[in-house]
Amino acid sequence: MPEYKLYINGEWVDSASGKTFDSLNPATEQSIGKFQEGNEADVKKAIDAAEDALEKWSEMPPPKRGLVLLRIAELLKQDKERLGKLVTTEMGKVLPEGLGDVQEAIDVFEYMAGEGRRLFGHTTTSELPDKFAMTIRIPVGVMGLITPWNFPIAIPAWKTSAALICGNTMVIKPSSDTPLCAIELVKIMEKAGVPPGVVNLVSGPAKTVGQEIVKNKKIDGLSFTGSRETGEWIMANVGVKKVGMELGGKNPIIVMDDADLALALDGIIWAAFGTTGQRCTACSRVLLHKAVKEKFMKMLVERTKKLRLGSGLEKTTDVGPLINKAATEKSGRYVEIGKKEGAKLLCGGEAPKGKGFFFAPTVFDGVLPDMRIAQEEIFGPVLSVIEIKNLDEAIEIANGTEYGLSSSVYTKDVRNAFVAMKKIEAGITYINSPTIGAEVHLPFGGIKKTGFTREAGIEGIEEFSHSKALYIDYSGRLQKATIDD
């Protein structure tokens, strides 16, 4: 059984704890390797290394940092097939999605490399004569990056690419369900020429590694993607530092009476059951117009029942496993909750017998907007269908949760589309396309209890940099701003 190390100050080392843990293939429940169970001492060493490396890395001109990011992208391209299979093996998503995970990392490193020649500030006027005013972007400093398991290469790439181009150094804590994907990404960064200490990786539990990253006063900024409950704990304990949060969603797809139903069906199947429902942007609510409900429900249930469970490495598989046993049990609990609340189970609703953390794609009808299955993030292949009579009602229901990440409307009416884009409370809205499919040159993130920052796109650098105001007075005399003449 291979044993993997921590990466601190350019060296692969054992944890001070002397302990290891296993990462399992969720399709087979077999271990793919042993990983270091890092602790507080390991994190402190990694932070010290990042602190020592900060000045030299931040002083490198951003276009030269961009060249390093381009080398990372090129190495990812060369290794895409192997890494895609690794994503599928360690996380469980089907192979085309595993390859897409790697492609997203390639795309974001290429995009952020280009930011090295921009990192835009602003020039503006001064209220005084012979005075110039502008802003520039400066690094946050030492960043703590806590990443999830559902996009085990793409999301670490989102965060590290933006952090690197802005001139930060960092300590990464990957999910303990997918540490190998993050380790392989760091190996590529090392090979591409990222200097020692700039990127450090400490695997291990949230109660040791995660808490130390959150609470350590030498961490200048924190970027977290994960559950709302963990995010709330972080906000209560992080102290005064720059924080980015992406905390999930309860994403609706509205299907209007004039929608292309075949197109809507394709989108819903992909958004609800792609990645086995384990995306923060997954569709978990369909708000279905009553005029087309009977016809569409037959189409939806028929198509859902045909989805084939199995290992993501098999070409015949449509839906892979959930990430672990706890996720399978959680989906099962929510099925029972839905039944008790009075929703009608139309298909799925159970875990098949045998090895692997599988759960049948599940559809509930007769769901009311205030039911728990329509309000709480399940993060599994459980879809709730809610009947609506018009767009106003649909938008009210869509907005009636604590989350606000992604949303979608299927309609042929341009007015419906524009009203929905304006009034739906979400960071992302799609028209005639599902709730998943974000592109790296557009900002990604939500509102309400989904979070409050944006990753990727031109706004993606804001989480990893500060804006600094500069004033140049060439008048040759003392000028006092904001003084009443």
Known catalytic residues?
280
Name which of 312, 282, 315 is nearest 97 in CA terms: 312
Contact 10, 190 (CB under 8 A): yes
> Could you tell me the two tokens for 15?
């944890």
Q: Which residue has the tokens 């949230």?
A: 206
> Could you tell me the two tokens for 296?
């569409």
Distances (CA, A) of 125 to 49, 120, 122, 174, 467: 41, 17, 10, 45, 17
Name which of 78, 219, 89, 232 is nearest 149 in CA terms: 89
Distance CA 257, CA 132 (A): 57
Contact 322, 328 (CB under 8 A): yes
Name which of 321, 336, 432 is nearest 381 in CA terms: 321
Distance CA 480, CA 313 (A): 68
Distance CA 425, CA 403 (A): 9
**R_g (Cα) of the chain, nearest Å:** 24
Distance CA 78, CA 38 (A): 31
| Helices marked H in 342-390 | none
Cβ neighbours for 479, distance < 8 A, ≥ 6 positions apart: 128, 129, 130, 131, 473
Distance CA 405, CA 285 (A): 13
Q: Which residue has the tokens 């507080």?
A: 40
CA angle, 438 then 315 then 152, to 5° = 40
> Could you tell me the two tokens for 477?
């005399």
Q: Which residue has the tokens 């946050």?
A: 140
Could you report how far apart the first and last alpha carbons of the chain are, in Å? 77
Contact 17, 44 (CB under 8 A): no
